[in-house]
Structure 1
Amino acid sequence: MALQRRIRFIHGQLAWMVATVLVLAALGSLSYSLFFLLSLLGLVILMELTAPTNVSPEWRTRLRWLIVFGLVGFAYVIVRRLLEILPPELFA
């Protein structure tokens, strides 16, 4: 039963990521950073929607580390975008 839930979780995440690629490609705005951010958003949403009420399996607690590293990557993308937008004289 636990393996079935894990496989269902993986299928849900893969479906979210494929849908993300298709929508971004249809809109003409497919980029690695946008795909990364939307995939991370999908992971967080899927984690909350499929959260068990009583006991959290060990594989779900390991996913929290993945989310933490994803948030670090998200912060990196945001800082990089801010540096592109802000004028260079601001940092001199």
Structure 2
Amino acid sequence: MATPRQRSFLLWQAGWMLLGIALLASVGRLAGDLVFVVSFAGLVVVTALTEPIHASVDWRWRLRWPLAVGGLVFAVFVGLRTFEKFVGSL
């Protein structure tokens, strides 16, 4: 059963993702890689903003793997975009 803090975290994350998708769609830039980047940025921000200061919560330890894998995928997207720009400028 989810705790109120877990529910709050999930609501903030879902809200961020839906707002990001709506904004990307409204400016005509809705693409899978941009949705991932906005969602991953939201995960990082929501994780940082909802972290308790004086307590360690066990369920937050499970976030380290999605954050690590997301960071790796983000680095791949940045590398690919940089490579495309570099090759395109030659």
Q: TM-score, normalised by structure 2?
A: 0.89
Tell me how far apart the structure 2 counterparts of residues 55 and 61 of structure 1 sit (CA, whole Å).
Answer: 12
**Alignment coverage as a number of residue pairs:** 88
Structure 2: stretches of 5+ with no match in the other structure: none
Q: CA deviation at 1:70?
A: 0.5
Tell me how far apart the structure 1 counterparts of residues 6 and 87 of structure 2 sit (CA, whole Å).
Answer: 47
Deviations 1:7-35 (A, max 9, x none): 11001100000000100000000111111
1:53 corresponds in structure 2 to: 53
Q: CA deviation at 1:87?
A: 2.2
Runs of 4+ in structure 1 over 3 Å off: none
1:30 corresponds in structure 2 to: 30
Deviations 1:42-78 (A, max 9, x none): 1111111111012221211110221111100001101
Structure 1: stretches of 5+ with no match in the other structure: none
Tell me how far apart the structure 2 counterparts of residues 23 and 87 of structure 1 sit (CA, whole Å).
Answer: 30
Q: TM-score, normalised by structure 1?
A: 0.87
CA RMSD in angstroms comes to 1.6
Tell me how far apart the structure 2 counterparts of residues 68 and 62 of structure 1 sit (CA, whole Å).
Answer: 11
